[in-house]
Chain A
């Protein structure tokens, strides 16, 4: 779909990759897929970002951080928050998923598997600490709006699971 495409000026990518989600510092906003467009007009950068969850308090901070990063690189910027098309966990890049796992957050499963996990307690989520799939959901809601709480039955470590959002 055309509307799902990102339009990001190549010169801006290295700058935007420096900005991360304040709640998940290992994940850059580029890997999260929240930047939908970024174009340079004269010396002004126009950026559109989309929230992961409507109430995500990180969005305000992300907006400020983008402005600062661009200013350091010599650009003025304007940031727009757009809602359409709505963000989905599909937009997290493979690199981003890897970063999540390394950080101790299980990456989102596909929609159907996610439903099985959250509703029927199927053991599909892999513990990011020990790799075991012998894990259980503790709560559908976790430390931030985008996560659920899990626990590994083998190594006993609690961990976050990034919920699938489509």
Chain B
């Protein structure tokens, strides 16, 4: 492949969309209320729409005849480069919202920078996605406040979810080899620079929600290198079932 770094860089962004989109899609028909069910699946649809643009571009860069569907459906677990945060299970609505919130704040910051990329395709996808992600961030931030500042039960449960998922936040700001090359070329986003802003924004909303900011020092990592938690395999088994059972099927 001529530009393997760019290819891996795109997947590093796009796989987060795919896996989180799939997780949210699991709630279709199972959301706690009709409105939140529809909201989660709408967000899923946005993320999957965005990932199509990314994978179409990655397929073009790969230039070996693979299409967007092959990239989405036919890789093995170790080939997915998403962060560990997005593959965590839905557990309860608190976890679903905490995961969404912790990702949305990052997603918004990252896309704001990606909009300035020298790569015009990536910049166009970022501009388009940002409009949608600002709605996602608004939705998840609102729910953090409602649950945190709600009943003692909702407060405790969202606090527990935030505490548990906090360990996956630091990985968002780790640079991969592909990242470093792409940053040097003016194409990629230097995620290390987003960290302070991220924890400030997250902290402010947690405070407003009367929640405590976890003081964890130990963080999990590995997703960006394809080393995942035990949850991803099951997710992929479901995601890839149709393509594995009926190779080359199309809608």
- Seen from chain A, the residues whose Cβ lies within 8 Å of a Cβ on chain B are 51, 53-57, 83-87, 118-119, 138-143, 145, 149, 163, 165-166
Contact in complex: B35, A139 (CB < 8 Å): yes
A13 to B3, CA, bound (A): 42
Contact in complex: A140, B129 (CB < 8 Å): no
Contact in complex: A145, B45 (CB < 8 Å): yes
A86 to B36, CA, bound (A): 27
Name the A residues within 8 Å of B120 (CB-CB).
84
A143 to B34, CA, bound (A): 11
A113 to B30, CA, bound (A): 33
26 A-B residue pairings within 8 Å (CB atoms): A51-B128, A53-B45, A53-B46, A53-B132, A54-B46, A54-B129, A55-B45, A56-B49, A57-B45, A83-B53, A83-B124, A83-B128, A84-B127, A85-B127, A86-B124, A87-B128, A138-B35, A139-B39, A140-B39, A140-B142, A141-B38, A141-B39, A141-B43, A163-B135, A165-B131, A166-B131
Closest A residue to B38 by beta carbon equals A141
Q: How far is the CB of B79 from chain A (nearest CB, A)?
A: 23
Q: How far is the CB of B35 from chain A (nearest CB, A)?
A: 4
A56 to B45, CA, bound (A): 8
Contact in complex: A55, B50 (CB < 8 Å): yes
User: Any chain A CB within 8 A of the CB of B52?
Assistant: yes
Contact in complex: B49, A54 (CB < 8 Å): yes
Contact in complex: B49, A55 (CB < 8 Å): yes
> What is the interface of chain A mostly: helix, strand, loop, or mixed?
loop
- Seen from chain B, the residues whose Cβ lies within 8 Å of a Cβ on chain A are 35-36, 38-39, 42-43, 45-50, 52-53, 120-121, 123-125, 127-129, 131-132, 135, 138-139, 142
Contact in complex: A140, B138 (CB < 8 Å): yes
Contact in complex: B35, A141 (CB < 8 Å): yes
Contact in complex: A54, B52 (CB < 8 Å): yes
Contact in complex: B135, A140 (CB < 8 Å): yes
Identify 16 new A-B residue pairs, CB closer than 8 A, beyond the known A83-B53, A84-B128.
A51-B128, A53-B46, A55-B45, A55-B46, A55-B49, A55-B50, A55-B52, A83-B127, A83-B128, A84-B123, A86-B127, A119-B142, A139-B35, A141-B35, A145-B45, A165-B131
Q: How far is the CB of B196 from chain A (nearest CB, A)?
A: 25
A119 to B42, CA, bound (A): 18
Name the B residues within 8 Å of A119 (CB-CB).
138, 142
Name the A residues within 8 Å of B46 (CB-CB).
53-55, 145
Contact in complex: A145, B42 (CB < 8 Å): yes
Name the B residues within 8 Å of A141 (CB-CB).
35, 38-39, 42-43, 135, 139
Contact in complex: A142, B124 (CB < 8 Å): no
Q: How far is the CB of B248 from chain A (nearest CB, A)?
A: 19
A57 to B41, CA, bound (A): 13
A83 to B47, CA, bound (A): 15
CB < 8 Å neighbour of A84 from B38, B45, B124:
B124
Name the B residues within 8 Å of A53 (CB-CB).
45-46, 49, 132
Name the A residues within 8 Å of B128 (CB-CB).
51, 54, 83-84, 86-87
Closest A residue to B123 by beta carbon equals A84
Q: How far is the CB of B213 from chain A (nearest CB, A)?
A: 23
Name the A residues within 8 Å of B38 (CB-CB).
139, 141-143, 149
Closest A residue to B251 by beta carbon equals A60
